Copies of this chain bind each other. A is one copy, B any other.
Amino acid sequence: MAQAISPPTFKPLYQQIKMLITQSLISGEWGPGEAIPSEIELAQRFHVSQGTVRKAISELAQENLLVRHQGKGTFVASHSEERRKYHFLRLLPDGGGKIGSEGELISCERGKADADTAKLLEVGRGSNLFIVTRVMRFGERPVMYEEIRLPAALFKGLAAERIDEFHCRMYSMFESAYGIQILQVAEQIKAVAAHGEPARLLGVPEGAPLLSIHRVSYTYGDKPVEVRKTLCNTRDHSYVNKIV
């Protein structure tokens, strides 16, 4: 580990360390919320300097795989942390104020992947899926209608009861019940006209404008694990985004 090979395969040491730490995260050597070994211990384990470990950890912290706390240690990121709980929810009430969402499970069914979904989830066409449908309320009003598609192979034995229990904190449930960490989501947003069942559940007339969000969620190694289609009534809420 002390030397890196040169010409075509030059990879900085700290990136190799980054990959080794990531491997340990994937293998579950340290679970969500747990502390990883100190920088000094890791430096000894990998036979590099503390500075090199630090650089690797800093990048992993920036990518939200790890969380550093001065004086305490470095911890595996978890969706049960407060700062992470609504991290992927960008729909906020216009008045400002807190979110405090609750929801209602509509259904949890088995299904097959159509061509589009199969491609997005990188599974075979016709693969088994769970399809979860729910409505989220902020305050009194229903605001979001969601259809969530999950590969059955990764979510073995997913039951409506489990969904119902956890469905407001779905990514926490993915983490604790299936060991799946959502790290990144990619969204495509459009304005569409309301119709049918979703319109009825959201309490808006046919043809009313709704925000449509198509999301693909990724875990370690950019592996897709969820496809989610959301329809939002943006009368009193907005999707907020900051571009830097």
Contacts and interface: CB of A to CB of B under 8 A. Distances in A.
A191 B192 contact: yes
Interface string A170-213: 00000000000001111111111100000000000001111110
Given A209-B191, A209-B193, A185 B242 contact: yes
3 interchain residue pairs of minimum CB distance = A209-B209, A190-B234, A191-B191
Given A94-B188, A189-B239, 20 more contacts: A87-B243, A90-B243, A186-B241, A186-B242, A187-B240, A187-B242, A188-B238, A188-B239, A189-B189, A189-B238, A189-B240, A189-B241, A190-B211, A190-B238, A191-B191, A191-B192, A191-B209, A191-B210, A191-B212, A192-B209
Given A64-B244, A209-B209, A239 B190 contact: yes
A191 B232 contact: yes
15 contacts: A88-B243, A90-B241, A185-B243, A187-B240, A189-B189, A189-B238, A189-B241, A190-B234, A191-B191, A191-B209, A191-B212, A191-B232, A192-B234, A209-B210, A214-B238
Contact of A211 (B87, B90, B189, B208): B189
Interface residues of A, number: 33
Interface of A: 63-64, 87-88, 90, 94, 183-193, 207-212, 214, 232, 234, 238-244
Contacts of A238: 188-190, 214
Contacts of A183: 244
A94 to B, nearest CB: 8
A176 B232 CA distance: 40
Contacts of A94: 188
Contacts of A187: 240-243
Nearest to A239: B189
A209 B191 CA distance: 5
